[in-house]
């Protein structure tokens, strides 16, 4: 597995811009694993609430006890 690291500005859209020089390093086809790391101190409460809701969406009934721990 090869890793290519870069930083980019998030604009709130569903598209993640990849710099041209980084895109040139990527293979033209095949699978890629994407990992997005953001600043820990980001104050994006809506994103956190949405990701938490998505996480719990398909939780089995026996895990319902954890719903009160936020």
Summarize pLDDT for 24-59 with one digit per residue, the tens.
999 999 988 888 888 776 667 777 777 777 776 776
- Give me the number of domains the chain comprises: 1
Output the six-digit token pair for 51: 């990701």
Q: Is residue 30 domain-resident?
A: yes
pTM: 0.45
pLDDT score, position 59: 65
Is-contact 36 16, C-beta < 8 A? yes
Q: Is residue 66 domain-resident?
A: no
Q: Is residue 70 domain-resident?
A: no
Query: Nearest to residue 37, comparing CAs of 67, 10, 61?
Result: 10
DSSP 57: H
pLDDT score, position 37: 85
Q: Is residue 38 domain-resident?
A: yes
Q: Is residue 68 domain-resident?
A: no
Q: Is residue 67 domain-resident?
A: no
The whole domain housing 16 covers: 1-61
Is-contact 8 18, C-beta < 8 A? yes
């Amino acid at each position: 597995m090869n890793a290519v690291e870069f930083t980019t500005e998030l604009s709130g859209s569903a598209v993640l811009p990849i710099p041209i020089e980084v895109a040139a390093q990527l293979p033209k086809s095949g699978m890629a694993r994407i990992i997005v790391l953001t600043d820990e101190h980001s104050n994006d409460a809506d994103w956190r609430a949405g990701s938490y809701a998505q996480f719990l969406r398909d939780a089995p009934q026996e895990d319902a006890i954890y719903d009160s721990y936020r």
